[in-house]
Structures are given as structure tokens and as C-alpha cells.
Chain A
Amino acid sequence: MNSRRDRPLIAIAFVVGAVFPVAARAPRPAHMPAARGESLAAFDARCIPAGCVAPRSNTPGILGRCALPAGRLARLGATPDFHHGLQGARPAADARTIVEEAQKRGRSGSQRYEGLLQTFEAQGKTSEKRWIYERLGSHGRSKVIIRFTAPPEVRGVALLIVNHPDKASDQWMWTPALERDRRIALQDRSTRFFGTDFSFEDLEERDVDQFDYKLLGEQAVDGAMCWSIQSTPKQSRSSQYTRAIIWIRKDTYAWARIDSYVKDDVVRRLEYRDIRNVQGNWTALQTTMTDLRRGSITRLALDKVEYSVLLREEDFTVEALRRK
């Protein structure tokens, strides 16, 4: 029988994932080589947030994968020259190419930041959690450790996330009160992230190959012109969402907003704000998720963001979770 105080600690651990979807590499100077030689398979956008998913049967008219030239290139491991062309604001060939480029620009070998997560309930109640986030590796194959630093009740709780490009991540949590690690079962990815407005699915890193895309047009978001793209999952993927519409800024290829739908209703809205260039990566220092059904908002603010940090592989293991 466990101590009565052990359980609540678990409730916070996941909030973290909100961190993923934020960076896009800043445009390089014209003289600087861009993506040449880099494999599309290694694309590393801080993920397509899970909103971009839907069963094929619910989204008629979506192009099949074979119809997408970029998809073919990705499978062949080719390095398309259009990467150079996309460094500026030149119109993209198609929706998938835009998303690929946005992901590619977000690539970095490692990242560290301090996060503040605030949840505003519809009744006006708020809660705050803080953590230190460290990521090692590129999109889809990265390892992440999140160590909670506040509030005091949850200080020391740590979460290890091992991402896979083709399936849900593996997650383990260290709870100091229990003095043991525990694998987190994720059978239901629509579960709210322990009470926040992010679902587990919203926090997964995903590969561009897992979705079909359709360019809907162009639209301004927060004063910046964006491509508006509809995203649906491949047949092999399941999702709580019927479809999603994502907005990607034309000037920086940074994510601007994602609306996730269930049938014809928008149920969650993810907004990227305060987008700044940090070490060459366009990074949203503030991310807001609104649950339109519950009327609650979860806001994630990033501080002390660093890329290409020197991190040790041995610190991203279940054994290392127990170290403070």
C-alpha cells in the first residue's frame, strides 16, 4: 500500500510534451548552403503536433501518398534541390513540401529550456508547473527528459520520453515519493495530459510520412501571412481527431496555429506566439492550447532556450531518471 501522497505527483508529469512543436530553423543567408545532403527521413521539426491527424475514411478527397512527389523523394532518400528554393518566401510546390521544410528547419541535435505551464480553468482556477526540459537527438528519434522543479509538491518528478518515428513514444516516470520508476501506459492517447488541455496525442513527435496534406490557401495569423494546410493521417494511424488545419508562416516556416477537428467542430486550438530566432531556430516562446469544449486554456512559456547543448546519451535512460 502506497503512501497517500504518492498519487497526485503522477498527475503532472506529462504536461511537458507541450514543448515539442515549436521551432523552425531561421532562414540562412543566401550564400549559405542549406539542406543539401540532408536526408528527408531525418526531418526534425519539433513535430507535427498531433492535431494533424484523422482517419482516411473521414476525409474524402485527400490525395493518396503516391500522388505526392515529395513523398516519393523521401522514400528514395533523395535530397531535393527545392530545399534551397524554400529558404526564402518562394511559394512551395505543395502542402507536404511546406510541412517537410518546416520540420527540417526545426532540426537541432539537442535542446534545453526552462518551461512554465499554466492552466486556466473555465471556472477561473489556475495552476502552474515548472520544469527543465532536455532533448537529445532529432525529430522522431529523440530522447527527452523533463524534470519538474515547481510547485514544491512535484519537485523531483522526472519523465523520460523515447520517441519513435513510426509509433507512439515510450515513457517512464520517476516519482520521488515512491522511489521507483514506472512505465506510463498510453493505450488511450486522447486522454488529457493529466488534467491539462493537451492530450497525450497532442504531445507526440510525428513524422511527416504519417500524414496526408492538402494546401487550402493563404491566410494571415497574428499579422503574418501563412499557408493553410489540411492534415489527415495515413490509414494505419488512429486519432481522436477527424482532421486538422495547420498554419505555417511563409516568412519563417514556423508553425503559427493548429486547429484540430472532431467531425466538423474545432475541439482544440494550438497557437504559437512570441516567435523568435534562437541560435538560428525560429522558436515559439509561448504556446497556447485551448480546449474549446471545456473552455479551458493551457499556456506554455519557454525560458532560457538553448540549442545544440552538450548532453550525454547516458543521461537519457531509465536508470538516469532517479538521479536528481
Chain B
Amino acid sequence: MRRALLSLVVILWASSGAAQAVSPSGFVDGSVFGFPQTVPNDATRIVGDALFRNEIVLRPADWFQLAAGLDLRVNSHDQVEDRWRLDVEDRGVLRPRAAVRRLAATVAARGFTLDVGKQFIRWGRADIIYPTDRFAPRDFLNVIDSELLPVIGARGSIQIASETLEAVWVPRLTPSRLPLLDQRWAAVPPEAAVFSVADGGSVIPRGSQYGARWRHTSSRVETALSFFDGFNHLPDIDVRPRSDPAAIDIVRVYPAIRMYGGDIALPTDRLTLKAEAAYVTSPPSTSDEYLLYVIEAERQTGEWLLDVGYAGEMVRQSRVPVVFSPDRNMARSIIGRASYTVDPRRTVIIEGAARQSGDGFYAKLQYSQAMTQHWHLTLTGVGLAGEPGNFLGRYRRNSHGSVALRFSY
């Protein structure tokens, strides 16, 4: 598979000059994160990150499209692999220095679309928390500023009038990338702080995953039902004692799950109401079974776009004491986002979440400005607060600011 994908990359780049329609694009992005406080396992306060991304889309015919993307990264805080190799699978603990971000062929004809290869597959309709988005692992090396990861698989959809049926098959799980144990976003629970914690590795299952989604789109209502059978890209944490009683191993286990989900958007004269819910079961009865849902109300008024909602969770069966699951851990919260368009070049965004129990808070303020046609500046401030036992509260010393400068071409 890897060799075939790499061959396709070479062919794409080589043939780009002769193809009928070629759309190259990309950017160089430099970011600096500043953390005012240190944490017990990480004294670094300044982290620098740079990313070069290049993407090419070829359309040899109206019904056929090839898309390829390449990422090159460097990082000042050991978040990127040292080796120079072209990574295709994106399953490592560290970010690859060079990675195939996208490599997919698309056939589209008469309402039927088939995408095969490394691609992004998104489900759901909610913002901030995405209960049904099961084919979208993320890079959580920075938990608050996570990035999507692509998956390798096939996605087919057929649209008839206002109905769309989508089927997805992914031969192997791509797990989310978790915070590094020796870095600040690891946020070891207080009860484990007395132990020496070591990375015991990951247990990535070999089976395939599949899912289907029916979507209805119309003026009055948009709705979808979805089904997923596969593995959770967010792990259960298996804590294993070592011979030294003061040391433990952390092993990431990706449990088999089955999900039944749905989402709806209901535009009204004053608000757009949105809801998304997923009921997750554990067929082998090894993981938690729960309902995760989000209810939101969105309104555009003047230059403001306001979005307020509630994320909730109902646990039917709790089997695992420790999980890494930002979506579940952010549940039982009031969530909100407001964006203000100052002018065509400037935008301000405020985003936040507050646990209903009052033990965890998160707020983000972001200012974004296009400086020229190619240069874009983004300033971000993130505040985190709460009790040590809460997911957000654990990151209370991770409040930070960042500056990102991007040159796009």
C-alpha cells in the first residue's frame, strides 16, 4: 500500500505539467507559543513550530480528479521525528518530518462520487465538539489547538435529489496523536503524579472500519443518520504496574466500538438550531458505553456570528477508569463561540467552554489579519482554569499565547 501511494505521488507531481487542470497551492507557516507557567513535567515556556504544506489537484477530466499534498515540519520542542523519511500512515507518536497529507483519486459522475486514498472524512454538524465524527482522528500534541489527521480508505456517496447516502471503508485505524508524556499537555491525573510514568506504547488494532451515513438536505431542515463499526481513534488508557512499585507504564488501547448517530440543523427566522448525538457501544464489552450529544443555537446579527450550546454525556456502562477523550471530557459543559468580522481583512473570534459543575473553564481569543495578499497574521490567547481533577482544570498551567505568521501561495 505504502509503495503504491508513493508511486502515485511521484506520478502526480511528474504529470502535473501535462494535466488538463492543475491547482497548486500551499503555505509556509511559522508559529511561536508562549506559556507563562511551567508544569512539573515540562519546563519549556517557548515552543516554535514551522510547517510547509504543498497541495496539487489535477483534473484530467470533468469526472476524475487526483489530489496530493505534502507536509514538511520542524519543531523546537521535540514534537517532530528526527528522521527524514516520507511518512504515509501517520501513526507515530511524534509528528513526521515529511508526510503525505493527502493522496486521493476522485471519480464523480451522475450524482455518484468515489474517493479512494488518503483523505479527510468528516461527519456531523456541531461545532467545538463532534460526537459522530468517527473517521476524523486528530493531532492532540497541543490539545487546545488540535489538527485533523487524514485516513486511508474509500468513501462512496450517491445523491438523489435531496438525499445523500455515503459509505466509508477504512482498512486500518489511524489513531489520534496523543500528548507526549514528557510534555505539558500530557496532564497526568493527580493520583498518578506520585509514580514515574513511562510510555508503554500503543495497541493499534488491525481490523478494518466501516460506516454509513444518510443525509437529507432541504431548505426547512437538514438531518443525517450515521452508523459506524470500528475502533475509537481516542484510546482507553491501560495503566500497567512495573517491577518498580513507584513506576507505571501507560499503554494506549484503541477499543472496538459501534456508533449510532444523528444530527440535525433547523433554520428558523431568528436562529439556526443544531443538534448532534452519538450513542457509542462496545461490542466486546471492554470499553465505556455512552451517549454524547450537543445542542446549539446559532445566530448571525450584524457582523457577529454567535453560537451557544450545551454538550452533554450520559454514561450507560463505565468500564475504563482512564480515557483520553477531549470530546467526552469537555461534555457537561456550556460551549460558545462568537466571531466578529471587522472588515474583509480582519476577524476576531472568541470561543469558550465552562463545565456546569464549575470545575473547568476554557476561553480562547483570536485575532486574524490578512496583511497582504500572501501574508496572514494570527494572534491567539488561551486561558484555562479549573480544579486538578477536571480535564480542563488539569491544564490550568497551560494558558498561553501564540503568534502565527503564514505566507500562502
Max count, chain B CB within 10 A of own CB: residue among A12, A186, A320, A323 = A323
| Residues B110 and A5 in contact, CB atoms below 8 Å apart | no
Residue B202 lies at the interface, judged by CB distance under 8 Å to chain A: no
| Residues A183 and B222 in contact, CB atoms below 8 Å apart | yes
Q: Would A179 and B345 be within 8 Å (CB), given that A187-B299, A191-B300, A317-B159 are in contact? A: no
Q: How far is the CB of A169 from chain B (nearest CB, A)?
A: 9
Contact among A7, A119, A191, A323 with B106 in the assembled complex (CB-CB below 8 Å)? A323
| Residues B128 and A152 in contact, CB atoms below 8 Å apart | no
Q: How far is the CB of B168 from chain A (nearest CB, A)?
A: 14
Closest to B136 in A: A179
| Residues A188 and B159 in contact, CB atoms below 8 Å apart | no
| Residues A5 and B404 in contact, CB atoms below 8 Å apart | yes
| Residues B65 and A186 in contact, CB atoms below 8 Å apart | no
| Residues B343 and A119 in contact, CB atoms below 8 Å apart | yes
Q: How far is the CB of A39 from chain B (nearest CB, A)?
A: 23
| Residues B128 and A1 in contact, CB atoms below 8 Å apart | yes
Q: Would A324 and B57 be within 8 Å (CB), given that A183-B272, A314-B111 are in contact? A: yes
Q: Would A153 and B270 be within 8 Å (CB), given that A121-B343, A125-B345, A324-B59 are in contact? A: no
Q: How far is the CB of A240 from chain B (nearest CB, A)?
A: 11
| Residues A152 and B219 in contact, CB atoms below 8 Å apart | no
Contact among B127, B144, B222, B302 with A188 in the assembled complex (CB-CB below 8 Å)? B302
Residues from chain B with a CB closer than 8 A to the CB of A196 are: 344
Q: In the complex the two chains form, what is the Cα distance from A303 to B130 in whole Å? A: 41
Q: In the complex the two chains form, what is the Cα distance from A90 to B37 in whole Å? A: 79
Give the total of A residues in contact with B, Cβ under 8 Å: 49
B residues 54-89 touching A (CB-CB < 8 Å): 57, 59, 62, 65, 67
| Residues A319 and B406 in contact, CB atoms below 8 Å apart | no
Residues from chain A with a CB closer than 8 A to the CB of B106 are: 323
Residue B34 lies at the interface, judged by CB distance under 8 Å to chain A: no
Contact among B121, B346, B370 with A153 in the assembled complex (CB-CB below 8 Å)? B370
Q: How far is the CB of B280 from chain A (nearest CB, A)?
A: 20
Residue A156 lies at the interface, judged by CB distance under 8 Å to chain B: yes
Q: In the complex the two chains form, what is the Cα distance from A3 to B26 in whole Å? A: 16
Residues from chain A with a CB closer than 8 A to the CB of B23 are: 155-156, 324
Q: Would A191 and B108 be within 8 Å (CB), given that A8-B376, A152-B409, A153-B408 are in contact? A: no
| Residues A4 and B380 in contact, CB atoms below 8 Å apart | yes
Residue A30 lies at the interface, judged by CB distance under 8 Å to chain B: no
Q: Would A119 and B370 be within 8 Å (CB), given that A5-B406, A317-B159 are in contact? A: no
Residues from chain A with a CB closer than 8 A to the CB of B272 are: 183, 185, 187
Q: Interface 1/0s, chain B 92-136, versus A by CB < 8 A?
A: 000000000000001011110100000011101001100000001
Residues from chain B with a CB closer than 8 A to the CB of A186 are: 300
| Residues A179 and B120 in contact, CB atoms below 8 Å apart | yes
Q: Interface 1/0s, chain A 134-168, versus B by CB < 8 A?
A: 00000000000000001111011000001010010
Residues from chain A with a CB closer than 8 A to the CB of B270 are: 187
| Residues B344 and A185 in contact, CB atoms below 8 Å apart | no
Q: How far is the CB of A321 from chain B (nearest CB, A)?
A: 11
| Residues A4 and B347 in contact, CB atoms below 8 Å apart | no
Residue A234 lies at the interface, judged by CB distance under 8 Å to chain B: no
Q: In the complex the two chains form, what is the Cα distance from A15 to B341 in whole Å? A: 13
| Residues B344 and A195 in contact, CB atoms below 8 Å apart | yes
| Residues A127 and B59 in contact, CB atoms below 8 Å apart | no
Q: In the complex the two chains form, what is the Cα distance from A202 to B269 in whole Å? A: 18
The segment from B12-20, B145-153, B177-185, B253-261 that touches chain A is B145-153
Interface residues on B, range: 35 or more
Residue B349 lies at the interface, judged by CB distance under 8 Å to chain A: yes
Residue B329 lies at the interface, judged by CB distance under 8 Å to chain A: no
| Residues A188 and B300 in contact, CB atoms below 8 Å apart | yes
Q: Would A7 and B303 be within 8 Å (CB), given that A164-B219, A319-B159, A323-B65 are in contact? A: no
Residue A11 lies at the interface, judged by CB distance under 8 Å to chain B: yes
Q: Would A185 and B219 be within 8 Å (CB), given that A152-B25, A324-B23 are in contact? A: no
A residues 161-209 touching B (CB-CB < 8 Å): 162, 164, 167, 170, 178-180, 183, 185-188, 190-192, 194-196
Closest to B327 in A: A1
| Residues A8 and B219 in contact, CB atoms below 8 Å apart | no
Residues from chain B with a CB closer than 8 A to the CB of A319 are: 111, 113, 157, 159, 164
Q: In the complex the two chains form, what is the Cα distance from A5 to B110 in whole Å? A: 34
Q: How far is the CB of B139 from chain A (nearest CB, A)?
A: 10
Q: In the complex the two chains form, what is the Cα distance from A196 to B23 in whole Å? A: 27
| Residues A153 and B344 in contact, CB atoms below 8 Å apart | no
| Residues A8 and B300 in contact, CB atoms below 8 Å apart | no
| Residues B303 and A191 in contact, CB atoms below 8 Å apart | yes
| Residues B374 and A185 in contact, CB atoms below 8 Å apart | no
B residues 333-378 touching A (CB-CB < 8 Å): 339, 341-347, 349, 351, 364, 366, 368, 370, 373-374, 376, 378
Residue A293 lies at the interface, judged by CB distance under 8 Å to chain B: no
Q: In the complex the two chains form, what is the Cα distance from A324 to B269 in whole Å? A: 32
Residues from chain A with a CB closer than 8 A to the CB of B222 are: 183
Residue A98 lies at the interface, judged by CB distance under 8 Å to chain B: no
Contact among B136, B267, B366 with A7 in the assembled complex (CB-CB below 8 Å)? B366
Closest to B402 in A: A4
Residue A306 lies at the interface, judged by CB distance under 8 Å to chain B: no
Closest to A318 in B: B217
Q: In the complex the two chains form, what is the Cα distance from A1 to B378 in whole Å? A: 16
List 6 A–B pairs whose Cβ atoms lie within 8 Å, in order of A's numbering: A2-B128, A127-B370, A152-B373, A164-B219, A179-B121, A194-B341
Given contacts A3-B145, A4-B380, A5-B406, 18 further A-B contacts (CB under 8 A): A3-B146, A4-B366, A7-B368, A121-B343, A127-B344, A151-B374, A153-B27, A183-B222, A183-B272, A185-B267, A185-B299, A187-B268, A187-B270, A187-B301, A191-B301, A192-B341, A195-B303, A314-B159
Q: Which 5 A-B pairs have CB atoms at the shortest separation, nearest pair first?
A: A152-B408, A179-B120, A195-B344, A185-B272, A180-B122
